[in-house]
Amino acid sequence: MRIYKVGGAVRDRLLGKPVTDIDWVVVGATTEEMLAKGFRPVGADFPVFLHPKSGEEYALARTERKSGRGYGGFTFHASPEVSLEEDLIRRDLTINAMAEDDQQNLTDPYHGQRDLEARLLRHVSPAFAEDPLRVLRVARFAARYAALGFTVAPETLELMRQLSESGELEALTPERSWKEISRALMEDQPQVFIEVLRACGALKVLMPEVDALFGVPQPPAHHPEIDTGAHTLSVLQQAALHNQPLTVRWACLLHDLGKGLTPEEEWPRHIAHEFKGLKLIKAVNERFKAPRDCQELAMLVGEYHTHGHRALELKPSTLLELLQSFDVYRRPQRFEEFIAACEMDARGREGLEQRSYPQADYLRGAATAARCVAVQPLLEQGFKGPELGEAIKRERLKALKAYKEAASV
């Protein structure tokens, strides 16, 4: 049996990037031989094993053939006769289809090294079209390596376009799609992920609600970039620049979906887009079965981001409603993430990236003021049940009035 490093580990070493997880391929071995060496089998579908000591993944060389729609529609063939070249040709990109032995000798039948130098993301073979997930993977790699100057090869983009038009993307499971989307959003240039999906027509299929924002104008006074799609990309970029977590990035992507619903005669204004967008945000959330914290934050940011921007002008009673909606007493972290998303929204505007956002500290201060209302004295005064709730609210409102007055001197 011969063992090679493959995929990301080879690619990233050649790029001079840190290698985190190593994938191995084993040529000329049977399952029985692997088990005899102490490897532990994983997964029902693939002949993949974990190394008894390192825990790294070792896969038997295999060929793949599409046999139906979706990912279930794949047949795998692993045997000691499958060559390294045959295993590499089923991979997505040439830069991911290189192997290396323990002497660092490179096997590169599909010219991955040439494409690394040319900074091109290029498919290995026409079999690329057999798995629609590769459209998302390529867009994700484009986001990851954009800073190094990588772009998608025109013929690969064309293939991605055909795949997007074929209806195959709809066969992806929410779980597979979300894994790619969430990883792509955590890259340094997540906006490139959306741009590439849009360029090949996949965005229209996966998130038509986001695609619809391109070409929708906003008032130039608040939005020098004018286009709502361009604004959304800038907000996402700001979120990455400020190292925001996935929840915030997801909320940033979806915050303005309501603007895609505005009738053209109302352009460039978008009256009540916050509220109108909620059903779209819900639909996207559910389509990808986004984790609950991502879903919740996206809905709250969608509904309340303009409240965030107008924080300093809000009446104490409105401020209180906002804090109650976020259940800021039990969920302080979520409110922080809301503030962050609002700030990214404010910065994601052409020429305004460096502006200060005093609303952030003001909102934090308001949350603290409301949270400081002590319940104990009210209990001692004999309040209970719904009346206690009302009394707490009254005290919080008082605290917010005092806070607002103090802040405006």
* Three-point CA angle 114, 10, 83, nearest 5°: 85
* Three-point CA angle 258, 264, 269, nearest 5°: 60
133 binds ligand ATP (CB under 6 A): yes
Residues 203 and 137: their CA atoms lie apart, in Å, by: 13
87 binds ligand ATP (CB under 6 A): no
Cα distances (angstroms) measured from residue 81 to each of 3, 85, 118, 245, 259: 14, 11, 33, 45, 57
CB count, 10 Å around CB of 352?
Answer: 14
Q: Which residue has the tokens 């405006």?
A: 408
Query: Smallest distance from the beta carbon of 133 to ligand ATP, in angstroms?
Result: 5
92: partner contacted, choices ligand ATP, Mg ion, none (Cβ within 5-8 A by kind)? ligand ATP
Phi, psi of 332 (to 5 degrees): -60, -35
By CB under 5 A, name the binding residues for Mg ion.
8, 21
* Cα radius of gyration rounded to whole Å, the chain: 26
Looking at this protein, which amino acid is placed at residue 282? Answer: K
Looking at beta carbons only, is 137 or 255 nearer to Mg ion? 137
Which region among 127-135, 166-174, 186-194, 353-361 touches ligand ATP (by CB under 6 A)?
A: 127-135
Looking at beta carbons only, is 136 or 378 nearer to ligand ATP? 136
Q: Determine which residue in the list 24, 39, 49, 92 makes contact with ligand ATP, applying CB under 6 A.
A: 92
Residues 253 and 248: their CA atoms lie apart, in Å, by: 9
Looking at beta carbons only, is 137 or 404 nearer to ligand ATP? 137
Query: Smallest distance from the beta carbon of 18 to ligand ATP, in angstroms?
Result: 10
CB count, 10 Å around CB of 103?
Answer: 5
Strand order across the beta sheet in which 57-60 lies:
40-42, 48-50, 57-60, 23-27, 2-6, 99-100, 106-107
Looking at beta carbons only, is 92 or 345 nearer to ligand ATP? 92
Which region among 102-110, 130-138, 194-202, 318-326 touches ligand ATP (by CB under 6 A)?
A: 130-138
8 binds ligand ATP (CB under 6 A): yes
Residues 293 and 301: their CA atoms lie apart, in Å, by: 12
168 binds ligand ATP (CB under 6 A): no
Looking at beta carbons only, is 7 or 308 nearer to ligand ATP? 7
Write the interaction track for ligand ATP spanning residues 94-123; mark x where CB under 6 A is met and - where it is not: --xx--------------------------
Looking at beta carbons only, is 7 or 47 nearer to ligand ATP? 7
**Residues in contact with ligand ATP by the rule CB under 6 A:** 7-8, 21, 23, 91-92, 96-97, 131, 133-134, 137
